[in-house]
Amino acid sequence: MPTKLDRLLEHLEPIRVLDEVSARTDEAMNSFAFPAGRITVWDDFKACVIRFVAHVERHALRLEAPYQVDPDFAWGRCVRMLMRKFDSSGEKAAFEMARTGNEGGLYAVLKAVAWSIAEQMAEAEISGRVSHYLGELSATQQLAASSEYVVKYGHLLPAELTEDNALRIRTRFYKVLTQHPELMKRFRRIGRRGPPAAATSRAPNPSAGQDVVAQGSTRP
């Protein structure tokens, strides 16, 4: 019978969470009023991206009416999204795509922005589910859950995380759980590149758990 931890981790599956969120962002993208033709003026491009982000977030969050945003603050967020998808000069590269129509033009730019929003919302969804799960457990139950996690997934983690009776996992359990989807994605990528490792072996890529070691706390 699945435990509470099993049910949580099932709902943290990267594909499952992203599918739920991206379905809402896709719906928003399909209902967005795209400008006719290419955008050749920088200020028009900025206004379009800001309007698109507000539209996607309103639909994804199921808000009844549009919300007001400060243009400078909103554009700063947009730049970070564009940099996430188009490197350090993201907004300039994105404008060139919109201006010239190359590489999919404005549609491809906004599609990338929508995907960035979906990723961020998926991360927030994962964080929220983990916080809710831990909030319902006593300190003793959290300790038991961390022991269960080590038994089931310790062989995928770097050895330094499971030494000293897995102390780092037990004291940073919130961070471990929020990073679990990324751990599983990395493990599956490794599995596709070659034969699966033996159940008792360690994950061949130690970086899979480095974030857990470097930062985090038991609770958010």
Taking a C-beta distance cutoff of 8 angstroms, is the pair 122, 18 a contact? yes
Percent of the chain with pLDDT over 70: 81
Record the pTM. Answer: 0.65
24 vs 152, more confident: 152
Question: For the CA atoms of 191, 194, 199, 201, what is the dihedral angle to 10 degrees?
Answer: -110
Q: Distance of CA 160 to CAs 16, 165, 213, Å?
A: 30, 10, 9
Alpha carbon distance 216, 168 (integer Å): 10
**Quick one: pLDDT at residue 157?**
81
160 vs 149, more confident: 149
- pLDDT, tens digit, 9 for 90 and up, residues 43-87: 999 999 999 998 888 877 777 666 677 888 999 999 999 998 888
Is residue 144 scored above 90 in pLDDT? Answer: yes
Q: Amino acid identity, residue 18?
A: L
Q: Tokens 């379905």 correspond to what residue?
A: 23
Domain segments of the chain: what residues?
Answer: 14-126, 137-214
Taking a C-beta distance cutoff of 8 angstroms, is the pair 150, 169 a contact? yes
Radius of gyration for the chain, computed over Cα atoms and rounded to the nearest angstrom: 21
Alpha carbon distance 20, 23 (integer Å): 6
Look at residues 97, 51, 99, 107 and name the one whose alpha carbon lies nearest to residue 75.
51
Tokens linked to 11:
């709902």
Taking a C-beta distance cutoff of 8 angstroms, is the pair 51, 58 a contact? no
Taking a C-beta distance cutoff of 8 angstroms, is the pair 25, 53 a contact? no
Alpha carbon distance 120, 178 (integer Å): 13
Helix (H), strand (E) at residue 25: helix 14-31
Taking a C-beta distance cutoff of 8 angstroms, is the pair 157, 202 a contact? yes
CB neighbour class for 109 (10 Å; exposed up to 12, middle 13-18, buried from 19): buried
- In a 13 Å sphere around the CA of 41, the CA atoms on its Cβ side amount to 5
**Quick one: pLDDT at residue 218?**
40
